[in-house]
Amino acid sequence: MKKIKVFVDPGHGGTDPGAFGNGLREKDLTLPIALALKKYLEQYENIEVRLSREDDRTLSLKQRTDMANAWGADYFISVHINAGGGTGIETLIFNGNVSAAIRNNQNVIHSEIMKAVGNVRDRGKKTANFRVVRESKMPAILPEFLFIDNTNDARLLKDPAFLNKCAKGMENGLVSIFNLKKKAQPTPPPPQTQLCNSNKLYCVQVGAFANKANAERLATELKSNGYSVFITE
């Protein structure tokens, strides 16, 4: 079965910090969200996840879309944090001629993000002429998670649990779009039989032998002295 390829792009990085405010930099927030999404998606069957960066490095917008296109990704997500004095979350797709499927995918992912993050303003589903959603050859979406220069939004962005919720929303959207199934969990081994129950008795081993005849001789001697004896192999 062909694996679904999801390309996740943590916006900015390296010499490009992105937006900043309230002691935060955009590049330091997009990366943990993307890494969390990768971790969540790897719990599913028949999916591959690749990030444009997994550390703090500089990449051009062209490099990001070139990587996704060369890999043959099935879906492209570019993770960003907003700025400009607003509040809330919005998602964007290309404002050109896009298919009904791309719009439907935006509807699904946007809805799942808003459900996952809870009581946050929904700024809606939008379109824009951003290079990463325009030049990617696969369906693409760019979520903007809150406003880094808004005090209340920044308080949420400083909480790792909130960043995980952002990733969880994208995960849930992709699960719905691609009908992903969780990997089977290994069956745990059966519990070992306890030879001794400390609530009832104490057990003492008095010998261990490679030769069974030696074990039997000791058992006979112990029995003759009134001890209860058994041999285990």
Residues carrying an active site annotation: 144
Q: How far is CA 65 from the centre of its chain?
A: 22
- Structure-token pair, residue 159: 């909480």
What is the secondary structure of 12-34 as a DSSP string? -BTTB--SEETTEEHHHHHHHHH
Q: By the 8 A CB rule, do 118 and 165 touch?
A: yes
* 121 SS3 class: coil
**Amino acid identity of 119?**
N
Query: How far apart are alpha carbons 140 and 128 in whole angstroms?
Result: 12
Question: What span, in angstroms and rounded, lies between the C-alpha atoms of 135 and 63?
Answer: 11
Residue 21 parent element (H or E)? strand 20-21
Q: Residue 92 is encoded by which pair of tokens?
A: 């964007």
CA distance 50 to 69: 12
| Residue 99 DSSP label | -
